[in-house]
Structure 1
Amino acid sequence: MAGHSKWANIKHQKKKEDRRRAKLFSKLSKRIAVEAREGGGDPEKNPDLRMAIQKAKDNNMPKDNIQRAIDRGTGNLDGVEYERIIYEGYGPAGVALYLDLMSDNRNRTASELRHLLSQHGGNLGEKGCVAWMFKRKGQLIIDRTEVEVDEDEVLMSALEAGAEDISIEEQMIEIIIEPSGLEDARKSMEEDGYEFSSGDVVMIPENTVDVDNKKEAQKVLDLMDELEDHDDVQEVYSNFNIPDEIMTELEKEE
């Protein structure tokens, strides 16, 4: 999940958190293994691995699991070899989809995703068909349901840390930073006493598509659920925005 859509709504995420915990650990292990294989197993010398490990820690992944994933990536443990794949396409209501995957079988993954998208009124597109709609940015999230913060103080701390954009909402605070400055910004704000529920480099949509038809909005959310549940999908980025009133109606029906 990412972008500025209501899909990033923390309340909506938490309903699925327990169900996805085991699957999440598996996906995080894949990412760590791939980063270790591509850039070496020393996080001090491999910033991409360091970021993957931090994400695993943010999600309370045990240290032993993290080390096993590193060892698989460096060849110290036997395991399946995964490759990184990017797929692009469209979902219901014409929303753009940018999918970050790690798979051990490119043909199988492509076939499964093509079938899944077609079932939900979407389709895979050619390379580059939607990538231009997104920008690669560093993102830090403060979960306001877990901690109490002073908005003005967070704003000041984030700006001093180099934030480009700050979105303050009822349940979350999103801080956008240039990717190269993400680690330093996080360290700076942690020194100010802030804790983050997540911090990663993500694809942020430059413009959003409002999905204000309830039926279409449900189709989009159903597709996002299916994509996130797919074993090979690491991240799903989209440019849709569901208005608050529609999101509230859909949550009441769950």
Structure 2
Amino acid sequence: MAGHSKWANIKHRKGAQDKKRAKQFTRAIKEITVSIKEGNSADPETNPTLRNAISNAKGVNMPKDTIERAIKKASGADADQYEQVSFEGYGPHGIAIFVECTTDNTNRTVASVRSIFSKNGGSLGTNGSLEFLFDRKGVFVLDTTELELSLEDLELELIDGGAEDFEKDEELITVFTEFTDFGKMSAKLEELNIEPKNAEIQRIPLNTTELPVDQGEQILNLIDRFEEDDDVQNVYHTLEINDELIAAVDQE
């Protein structure tokens, strides 16, 4: 699990910061919209999925008034109608890639994802063809600078909440749970009065493939192309992320 989340927690990645922030806001707004539809409520007190979506929006520093506008729009008659779809395929060098999207136009999204695969040396596969390569886990990212408990005491509390693994990275700690323990961990964090920077169900690769740096960069460029698409919410892959690859990307 370490290599997968390690890349997700890198603070400085390629691309303009304002462009990344705009994409983060778009993703957060879609998450809020879907959570209200699925939970059939615009009240975070009674809709835990919305409560989590709001927490994630705060985690990317979305302004409070923007969050409130998103909730108001999503609960109105003119709310955007989104559908969640996923795509599976291979990038160059045999790296499996799983793309999750939230879209209001499936035909547009299918065409875009297929084009990104084909223009970057990959190929779109059939749904379900790669799902066995990933394990769904609850993933919670906490800011250790905001915690009142010691790390040792915190870990004991989180194990009680279903934590099965931890990964520390500078000022962050990533907590992994079984898919079925996501709600249990969310409740535990509420009990501890801890608001995660991010909390979501992720697809963690069961095995990863290490590539030479130049080939690894080729895969990361492909992943960036996906993440630049407004319909794409998450991209998961089987590339092993090591320090050498991160260092090479940071130099660009």
Is the pair's TM-score, using the shorter chain for normalization, greater than 0.5?
Answer: yes
C-alpha contact 1:135 1:204 (8 A) present in aligned 2? yes
The one-letter code sitting in structure 1 at the alignment partner of 2:203 is M
CA RMSD after TM alignment: 2.9
| Percentage of pairs with the same residue | 40
- Normalising by structure 1, we get a TM-score of 0.83
- Normalising by structure 2, we get a TM-score of 0.84
C-alpha contact 1:10 1:171 (8 A) present in aligned 2? no
The one-letter code sitting in structure 1 at the alignment partner of 2:35 is E
Structure 1 residue 150: Cα displacement: 5.2
**Number of the residue aligned with 1:99:** 99
Cα distance 1:250–1:22, how it changes in 2: closer, same or farther (>3 A)? Answer: closer
Structure 1 moving runs of 4+ over 4 Å = 13-17, 143-151, 189-195
Structure 1 residue 82: Cα displacement: 1.8
Is 1:230 aligned with 2:221? no
2-side partners of 1:244 and 1:206: how far apart? 20
**Number of the residue aligned with 1:60:** 61
Structure 1 residue 233: Cα displacement: 0.4
**Number of the residue aligned with 2:51:** 50
> What 5-or-longer segments of structure 2 have no aligned partner?
none
2-side partners of 1:24 and 1:5: how far apart? 17
C-alpha contact 1:41 1:71 (8 A) present in aligned 2? no
> What 5-or-longer segments of structure 1 have no aligned partner?
none
2-side partners of 1:47 and 1:7: how far apart? 28
2-side partners of 1:194 and 1:105: how far apart? 37
Cα distance 1:249–1:21, how it changes in 2: closer, same or farther (>3 A)? Answer: closer
Is 1:132 aligned with 2:132? yes
1-side partners of 2:197 and 2:78: how far apart? 32
C-alpha contact 1:32 1:53 (8 A) present in aligned 2? yes
- Indicate the larger mover: 23-32 or 138-147: 138-147
1-side partners of 2:82 and 2:193: how far apart? 37
1-side partners of 2:113 and 2:27: how far apart? 17
The one-letter code sitting in structure 1 at the alignment partner of 2:88 is E
**Number of the residue aligned with 1:173:** 173
